[in-house]
Every structure is written in C-alpha cells, then in structure tokens.
C-alpha cells in the first residue's frame, strides 16, 4: 500500500484487465483475455490478478467468524441470518448449552445476536454455523451495523491496527464479523463516533492514506467530547 | 405506431421535430447509488424518460418452488407510474408491463453469472417515473448499472438502444411523437464488448435493408451509451475524497 492520497484503479464488469498474471477471483477469461466480473478494484497478489468487488453480498467460507441474528426458532435448531444469500441453521448440538428438545427459545430468541463460526458450506450454497468454540457466544445489548463484507479487511486494518485504534479512542467493545456485520457496545457517544468512523472507512475504502484520516477524525471527535 | 397523421416528422433540412439529426441520441444523464436501502440502485434521464431502478439480492428465492437448484433466477419488474404518461395509467401490471418484465429479465440474465448463486433470486425493480418512448431500452441500460452497483458478477454491462423508421427515414432513438406517428420501432439490447444482441424487438414494418441499417445505428450508439455507463459507475467512487 502506497502512502498518500489517491484512488485505486476501478474496473467495471466486462472491462479488459491489462495486468499480467494468472486469473484469480472476480475475473473471467474469454478468448485468452482477462475481464473483470465485478465493479471493483484490481489487485495483484502472488502472481494472481484479482478483482475485489466494491459492494455485494457475503459468500460464506468455512471457518469464517460471523455475526448473525436469530430470525426463527424450531424445536431442534435456530435459523440465523448471516447477511448471506442463504439463511444458516444453528443446530442444538452446535451450541455450548445442553438444550432439551423444544426448549430452544429459552436460550436464544428471535432478534438475539450471536458470534458464530461457519462450520460447513456445500456446493448448493447451504451453510451451517456453530457456536461450539472458545469465544463464540451470544452478544448481549450493543448496537449492530452492516457494511459490505469486502470492506471488512479495511475496517480491521493491517494487523488489526484500524480496529485497535477505534477501540482505543472510543472505549467501545467492537466485534467485526467476516460477513460485514459489526457489533458495538459502549457509551452512546462512543457508539456514534464508531459508526461515523466505520461509515467513513466504508465510503473511502478504495483510497490511500485512510488510517491517517480516520485518526484525525477520531482525535477531533474526542476533542469535542471533552468540551474543548 | 401507424397512426395516420399529417404531422411531418422530418423537415426540409433533414432535422427531426426536436431538432436532432437522424443518428443523434437524446441527452442522457445517469447516476448510480441513489437509494440508501437497496443493494444497488441507479437513475437515468434519457430525453423525457425518467427511470429509477433498485436491485435486491442475490437472496433466497421465495416461494420455494421458483428456486432453481443450479442457478439464480433474475426477476425484473417493469412498472410505469400512473403519472408517467399524459393520460393517467391504471396502476398495476398490464399486458405490456408483463411482457416487458419478461424480456428484460431474460436480457439481464444473459449477462449475469447466475450459476454462482444457486437457489437465489436477483430482483430488479424498474420504475418508470416519466415516459417518453424507449423506456424499455432506458430501463435495461439503467438496470445494468444498478446490478453492477449491487456487486453482482456480470460478463458485461448491457446497453439498450432503439432505432426506427419515420417518414421513410431510418433514425435513432425515437421520441414519443416519432414513436406514435412513425412507421417502425426497433428496440435492442446490446452487450457492448462482444456486440452480442440480448434483445431485439420490432413494432411496425421495415424492409430487411432498413432493419440492418437500424441495427447498425443502434450498435454504434450503444458504444456511446456504454462510455456514459462506465463514467457513471466510476463517478460514484471517484468523487468521495
């Protein structure tokens, strides 16, 4: 990543990609030439040319930590909305509690937010999630926002730098799911600042020098909070 | 189409009633990302046409029996607002809207990588707020922008463009008067990169040679519109900072 201002190169669907390399994600080959399948930015990594979409829905991958919302309850499972094209069932065997048949609603009810892991995905696109792993739990209270899943890496930042900065400046607890759902808990002012900062990251994800601008923004916001 | 009248659609200088040359398009303005809650959206002003489009999905297709195990289904809905035409149009789908929804769905499906999202539906809502002939081609043009904005993988953008015949002359992009009193109207949807045709209809009659001229004209204009589409898509992201 280069320093300073500027915008990465944007391609539209069907645009010829001039970069050389093997075709990676988000590109397709026709008559030996590479074209972009998405409205996105071109990136070359490890000899592969990828197009990273600027928007779109989350495609579940096995092992992803996601934040989901319970949308339905059945005697043996819950149905979780993980912001993907498909809803994901959460079976009673996949939760850290012992649940008797038919008592699912005692543990998780509709509207509850959970931190879960994608345990399996098949070719048909069916997804299963699990909560049986350390750190996976129900998220009580807090605020939930949605961003494009392709912008999650920018919100987290290199080595978690961006998210660490957000936490430090606002004192909020933040969880970012790979599916673009973000859970924030803390003081109301802190939450508002975090949401503003995340929206800023979302809108400017394809530009250079973003961390510095977010830092300046957070410093300004904190200054206002202290009445300076 | 075919209404007898003594209106002269082309004057002695060869200009049309709105002062355009035979191969000239009406002014076009496009904007991407106009709706907050939709996954993708776009707006177009094409001459007197004003159309807004929203895209939702891919999302699980309901009712369940419409799902297809191997691919996504594309459901476009073309609808005209009651106030979009001179005389109030009865709201709701009529014969024409059902037909256009079908042909637009099929045209859009031809560019989308539907096999990437089995069992889902991609819903495209095309609302005509103001109509002035050529709404189906403008609708296709703007729907492709909304699809790109929604992050749906596509082989190409898709461009709609119409040509026709008025007073015995083959012309591009008919307006309302020319559509009503002209001889033929040929709406087309074109994939600008490969120059493939995704939709071709004809209302009225023309000779084979005239049809070929009309198609060539639309093909040429499609490249111009394609450039505008790219510009509109890139503009959303370059104006941020």
Report yes or no: A109 at the B interface, CB cutoff 8 Å.
no
Judge if A28 and A79 occupy the same domain.
no
Of B58, B193, B230, the CB nearest to A57: B58
What is residue A14's predicted lDDT score, i.e. its pLDDT?
93
CATH number of B213's domain? 3.30.230.70
Of A7, A37, A57, the CB nearest to B154: A37
Say if B40 falls within a structural domain.
Answer: yes
What is residue A43's predicted lDDT score, i.e. its pLDDT?
86
Taking contacts as CB-CB distances below 8 angstroms, the residues of chain B near A15 are 230
* Cα of B72 to nearest chain A Cα, Å: 10
Judge if A132 and A176 occupy the same domain.
no
DSSP B128: E
Say if B3 falls within a structural domain.
Answer: no
Judge if A135 and A148 occupy the same domain.
no
Judge if A30 and A72 occupy the same domain.
no
Say if B22 falls within a structural domain.
Answer: no
Averaged pLDDT for residues B99-110: 96
CATH number of A181's domain? 3.30.1370.10
What is residue A4's predicted lDDT score, i.e. its pLDDT?
42
| pLDDT over 50 (residue B65) | yes
Phi and psi, residue A60, nearest 5° = -65, 140
For residue range A139-149, list pLDDT tens digits in order: 988 899 988 88
Of B40, B113, B229, the CB nearest to A55: B40
What is residue B6's predicted lDDT score, i.e. its pLDDT?
73
**Domain end marker among A124, A139, A154:** A139
Please give the residue that has the higher pLDDT: either A10 or B240. Answer: A10
Judge if A77 and A106 occupy the same domain.
yes
Judge if A118 and A83 occupy the same domain.
yes
* Torsion, Cα of B133, B134, B138, B143 (10° steps): 110
> Are the C-beta atoms of A84 and A131 separated by less than 8 Å?
no
Q: What is the 3-state secondary structure (H, E, C) of B84-118?
A: CCCCCCCCCCCHHHHHHHHHHHHHHHCCECHHHCC
Say if A132 falls within a structural domain.
Answer: yes
Judge if A35 and A81 occupy the same domain.
no
Report yes or no: A28 at the B interface, CB cutoff 8 Å.
yes
The boundaries of the domain holding residue A124 are: 65-139
What is residue B34's predicted lDDT score, i.e. its pLDDT?
94
Cα(B75)–Cα(B69) distance, integer angstroms: 16
Cα(B227)–Cα(B229) distance, integer angstroms: 5
Say if A218 falls within a structural domain.
Answer: yes
What is residue B83's predicted lDDT score, i.e. its pLDDT?
96
Say if A2 falls within a structural domain.
Answer: no
Please give the residue that has the higher pLDDT: either A140 or B4. Answer: A140
**Domain end marker among A92, A116, A139:** A139
Tally the C-alpha atoms within 13 A of residue B55's C-alpha that lie toward its C-beta.
31
Domain count, chain A: 3
A 10 A CB-CB count for B116 gives 16
CATH number of A15's domain? 2.40.50.100
Domain count, chain B: 1
- Interface probe, candidates A85, A205, A206, A217, chain B, greatest B C-beta count within 10 A: A85
* Cα of B133 to nearest chain A Cα, Å: 28
| pLDDT over 50 (residue B241) | no
* Cα of B100 to nearest chain A Cα, Å: 24
The boundaries of the domain holding residue B150 are: 28-238
What is residue A226's predicted lDDT score, i.e. its pLDDT?
58
| Residue A221 CA: distances (Å) to CA of A117, A171, A185, A190, A227 | 34, 13, 18, 9, 10
pTM: 0.89
Say if B10 falls within a structural domain.
Answer: no
- Interface probe, candidates B154, B223, B225, chain A, greatest A C-beta count within 10 A: B154
What is residue A2's predicted lDDT score, i.e. its pLDDT?
42
The angle subtended at Cα B227 by Cα B224 and Cα B228, nearest 5°, is 90
Judge if A131 and A149 occupy the same domain.
no
> Are the C-beta atoms of B145 and B42 separated by less than 8 Å?
yes
What is residue A1's predicted lDDT score, i.e. its pLDDT?
41
* Cα of B192 to nearest chain A Cα, Å: 9
Give the number of beta-carbon pairs within 8 Å between A and B: 94
Name the band, by pLDDT with cuts 50, 70 and 90, for residue B1.
low
Cα(A188)–Cα(A197) distance, integer angstroms: 14
């Amino acid at each position: 990543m280069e320093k300073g201002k500027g915008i990465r190169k944007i391609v539209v669907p069907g645009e010829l990609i001039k970069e050389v390399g093997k075709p990676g994600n988000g590109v397709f080959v026709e008559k030996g030439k590479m074209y972009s399948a998405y409205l996105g930015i071109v990136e070359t990594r490890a000899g592969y040319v990828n197009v990273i979409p600027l928007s779109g829905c989350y495609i579940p991958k096995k092992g992803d930590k996601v934040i989901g919302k319970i949308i339905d309850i059945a005697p043996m499972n819950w149905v979780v909305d993980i912001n993907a094209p498909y809803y994901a069932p959460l079976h009673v065997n996949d939760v850290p509690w012992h649940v008797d048949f038919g008592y699912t609603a005692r543990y998780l009810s509709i509207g509850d937010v959970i931190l879960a892991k994608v345990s399996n995905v098949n070719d048909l696109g069916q997804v299963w999630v699990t909560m049986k792993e350390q750190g996976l739990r129900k998220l009580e209270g807090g605020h939930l926002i949605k961003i494009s899943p392709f912008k999650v890496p920018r919100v987290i930042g290199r080595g978690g730098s961006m998210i660490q900065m957000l936490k430090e400046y606002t004192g909020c607890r933040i969880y970012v799911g790979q599916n673009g759902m973000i859970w924030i808990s803390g003081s109301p002012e802190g939450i508002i600042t975090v949401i503003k900062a995340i929206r800023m990251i979302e809108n400017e994800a394809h530009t250079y020098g973003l961390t510095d601008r977010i830092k300046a923004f957070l410093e300004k916001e904190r200054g206002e909070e202290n009445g300076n | 189409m075919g209404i007898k009248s003594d209106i002269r659609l082309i004057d002695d200088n060869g200009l049309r009633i709105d002062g355009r040359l035979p191969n000239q398009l009406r002014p076009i303005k496009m904007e991407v990302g106009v709706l907050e809650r939709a996954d993708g959206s776009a707006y177009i002003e094409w001459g007197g046409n004003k159309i807004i489009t929203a895209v939702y999905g891919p999302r699980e297709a309901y009712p369940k029996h419409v799902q297809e195990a191997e691919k996504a289904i594309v459901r476009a809905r073309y609808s005209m607002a009651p106030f979009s035409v001179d005389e109030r149009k009865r709201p709701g789908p009529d014969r024409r809207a059902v037909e256009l929804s079908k042909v637009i769905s099929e045209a859009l499906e031809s560019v989308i990588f539907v096999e990437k999202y089995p069992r889902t539906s991609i819903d495209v809502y095309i609302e005509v707020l103001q109509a002035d002939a050529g709404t189906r081609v403008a609708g296709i043009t703007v729907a492709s922008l909304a699809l790109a904005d929604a992050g749906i993988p596509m082989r190409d953008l898709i461009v709609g463009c119409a040509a026709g015949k008025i007073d015995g002359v083959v012309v591009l992009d008919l307006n309302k008067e020319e559509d009503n009193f002209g001889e033929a109207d040929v709406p087309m949807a074109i994939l600008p990169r490969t120059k493939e045709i995704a939709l071709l209809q004809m209302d009225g009659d023309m000779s084979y040679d005239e049809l070929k001229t009309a198609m060539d004209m639309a093909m040429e204009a499609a490249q111009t519109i394609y450039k505008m589409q790219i510009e509109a898509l890139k503009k959303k992201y370059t104006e941020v900072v």
